Chains A and B, each alone.
Chain A
């Protein structure tokens, strides 16, 4: 077992990974605590709210299993998002094989924020919620990674297999679309 003391919020992800590989279980705990909610938000933005926990769990299991392939020059959180995206796609693929259903399309993933229907009392926030339902899956993913996770476009591009420029366009289109729908709803 490695040293299990001295983990603080200042301890870098790379240092935690090194400690975990050396047998320090607390390092894994710190990494999960630090990033689970972010991964969960991203999974929800991918339209998988109903099985968020399962997918977040699979993401971490896969990440820790493949941690030797993690390059410390990239951010661990960005790497986790990349894995989460793959986990979600794999789940959908296996589900498709199992049930022989058609590929899950936009109409499946637009339900991400349906669960909040009637829960949010604030009218303005309700308008924003409804407006967000109208975003394309890609717009919603970019928007979530940019707004709630604070990823720069270069990293969003890594996660989504796109270019930074394209992600920037997707983000601004998403904001524009939300703005327009909220404005329409207000008149």
Chain B
């Protein structure tokens, strides 16, 4: 096996073979190859090896990758929340059916329980703040919301609702003040800046 002691040339071969060298460097390497059988052979092998790797690699459907990225983005909070679009992203993030169902369960309980508490004196109960904000900021909603909610038939429980019905239900509940407070704490945790992702 022929050998060459010129480390600089040998280090330059992969970039030369793949056409990544600047013109000047390429000219120097080319001149070296003309007089060095070892490097000429190595360059030929590297070129073949690059071809083997390229041929062994299946072609990739980038549209499917993009669709997967889009779907993941739709169901996950972005790494860097942009303040202007936080509301939209937050809404999309918990729009998956199981999470919607879980959130809706809690929200229905909260919103349906609010009117029954109306006559009770304000104490230290954390739901009082919710009741107050509903009463102060959306007086109409405070009384009509439960009715609006029950326009979706809840007789069979939330499990029987379609995604569209859950969406509708959540839209109504979304409009209420204080619904964010009623979201399960776990789904408000940041999903992105966690080391295990990498």
Contacts and interface: CB of A to CB of B under 8 A. Distances in A.
B73 A69 contact: no
Contact of B1 (A37, A60, A147, A183): A183
A9 interface: no
B79 A67 contact: yes
Contact of B79 (A49, A65, A125, A148): A65
A61 B12 CA distance: 34
Top 8 closest pairs, chain A to chain B, by CB: A68-B79, A68-B80, A128-B48, A147-B14, A61-B72, A66-B197, A129-B52, A36-B60
A86 B18 contact: no
Contact of A41 (B1, B54, B73): B54
Interface residues of A, number: 57
Given A21-B80, A64-B73, A115 B56 contact: yes
Interface residues of B, number: 46
Contacts of B55: 116, 119-120
B45 A179 contact: yes
Contacts, number: 144
A128 B82 CA distance: 50
B28 interface: no
By secondary structure, the A interface counts as helix
B49 interface: yes
A83 B69 CA distance: 15
By secondary structure, the B interface counts as helix
A22 interface: yes
Contact of A52 (B49, B57, B62): B57
Interface string A33-71: 100110011001100010011001100111011111100
Interface of A: 21-23, 25, 28-29, 32-33, 36-37, 40-41, 44-45, 49, 52-53, 56-57, 60-62, 64-69, 82-83, 86, 112-113, 115-116, 119-120, 122, 124-125, 128-129, 132, 143-144, 146-148, 150, 168, 172, 175, 178-180, 182-183
B53 interface: yes
A29 to B, nearest CB: 6
